[in-house]
Amino acid sequence: MSNKNITINDIALSLSIAPSTVSRALNSSPRISEATRHKVLQKAQELGYELNLIASSLSKHRTGTIGLIVPNINQFFFSQAVSGIEAVTRENGCRLIIAQSNESLEREKEILRMFNSYRVDGIIASLSIETSDIAHFEVFHNKGLPFVLFDRVHYGLDCTKVVVDNYEGAYKAASHLIASGCRRPAHLGGPRKNRLFRERADGFTDALAKHAVPLLPNFLLSTDLTPTDVRDAMQLWMKQPEPPDGIFTASASTGLLMTRVARSYQVRVPDDLALITFGNEPCHEYTVPSLSAIDMPGYEMGSTAAMHLFRAITDPKSEKKLVIKPLQLYIRNSTHKK
């Protein structure tokens, strides 16, 4: 129980030099002789000195910590993004505080306040599904705190954003359904107040128009993408005189659930119903049939977001960009109609 932590004063004392000299040595300042530098490092090692980041942060006015807000780390996309962000953060010698908004606006506000109290050097965020107004971000943004948004972004905030082309991805997915032989494709979409989901819906409808495939009534649904919404949607569709022969879901998890709901209706995938999702998860390989998807590059989006944040921290006047990451279509068995 050698409870006490060694400080630079302890080193200074035992070497009969000034604490400031020790600090310079430890931070390999240019204004230090190689001899003392060596002496200090030696002694620090010997005494088991470890920097107190709290004290250092207080006097340096930067914490070397960045805050990350994600809706939910359980989702594969976000846990990939976290890994990408963590890697870059570490390369930059910084630390990461992760917090989950659990899709709650209130919680998001709390987290921002917490991060501010913590004096994080910058914030990376993917907005909660409830968030349509961003006044709570603007408060801190206006104080000069650097932000980067990714995936679930809001274009009203003047910061770098890392996104995918949702319209393009949805267009690809719908086109693939049509190419696979679907003539009555349907879309299970997210809330329309959310631009991201509007874009996915628009990509879907435009692809149909382009290929002269009619969009049937009730075949374009806007929901909150909950499990209940999935069941309700399927029920609605199965009641139609001619149900859909292909479904494009706006999220990965709803698509997965859809495979089971379809089975409960004795609908065969892909023969009766082709299925493709926006978002790709490991589980897509394990369903039977395996599930086609538009893959979002989570790790790359995360690492790119982090790189841009560090750029913004280093140079507050650096240009704010809109980075659009490529999407990839993964064709699996759920869209292999005979």
Partner DNA sequence: TTGAAAGCGCTAACAC
Partner DNA sequence: GTGTTAGCGCTTTCAA
Which is closer to DNA, CB of 22 or CB of 291?
Answer: 22
Q: Does 314 bind DNA (CB under 7 A)?
A: no
Q: Does 31 bind DNA (CB under 7 A)?
A: yes
Q: Please give the Cα distance from 280 to 248 (Å, whole number).
A: 13
What values do phi and psi take at 81, rounded to 5?
-60, -40
Which is closer to a second copy, CB of 218 or CB of 314?
Answer: 314
Q: Please give the Cα distance from 55 to 152 (Å, whole number).
A: 35
Cα dihedral sign, 171-174-176-181: negative
Which is closer to DNA, CB of 44 or CB of 163?
Answer: 44
Which is closer to a second copy, CB of 100 or CB of 222?
Answer: 100
Q: Are strands 160-164 and 147-150 parallel, antiparallel or unpaired?
A: parallel
User: Which positions from 57 to 96 touch DNA by CB under 7 A, shown as an x/- string?
Assistant: -xxxx-----------------------------------
Give the H or E element holding residue 275.
strand 274-278
Smallest distance from the beta carbon of 189 to a second copy, in angstroms? 22
Contact residues: a second copy, CB under 8 A: 1-3, 5, 50-55, 57-58, 63, 73-74, 76, 79-80, 82-83, 86, 95-100, 113-114, 116-119, 142-144, 256, 259-260, 282-283, 285-288
- Of 1, 2, 35, 242, which lies in the binding site for DNA, with binding defined by CB under 7 A? 35
Q: Residue written as tokens 């009641």?
A: 239
Beta-carbon contacts of 204 under 8 Å, excluding residues fewer than 6 positions away, are: 170, 171, 173, 174, 185, 187, 189, 220, 248
Cα dihedral sign, 125-126-131-133: positive
Q: Does 320 bind DNA (CB under 7 A)?
A: no
17 binds, among a second copy, DNA, none (CB under 5 to 8 A by kind): DNA
Which is closer to DNA, CB of 35 or CB of 212?
Answer: 35
Question: How many angstroms separate the Cα of 71 from the Cα of each of 7, 100, 320?
Answer: 39, 5, 23
36 binds, among a second copy, DNA, none (CB under 5 to 8 A by kind): DNA
Q: Does 38 bind DNA (CB under 7 A)?
A: no
Which is closer to DNA, CB of 8 or CB of 188?
Answer: 8
Smallest distance from the beta carbon of 118 to DNA, in angstroms? 12
**Both tokens assigned to 144:** 């000069």
- Looking from the CA of 82 toward its CB, the CA atoms found within 13 Å total 18
Smallest distance from the beta carbon of 89 to a second copy, in angstroms? 10
Smallest distance from the beta carbon of 286 to a second copy, in angstroms? 5
Smallest distance from the beta carbon of 46 to DNA, in angstroms? 15
Which is closer to DNA, CB of 23 or CB of 251?
Answer: 23
**Both tokens assigned to 119:** 């004096």
**Both tokens assigned to 99:** 């917090």
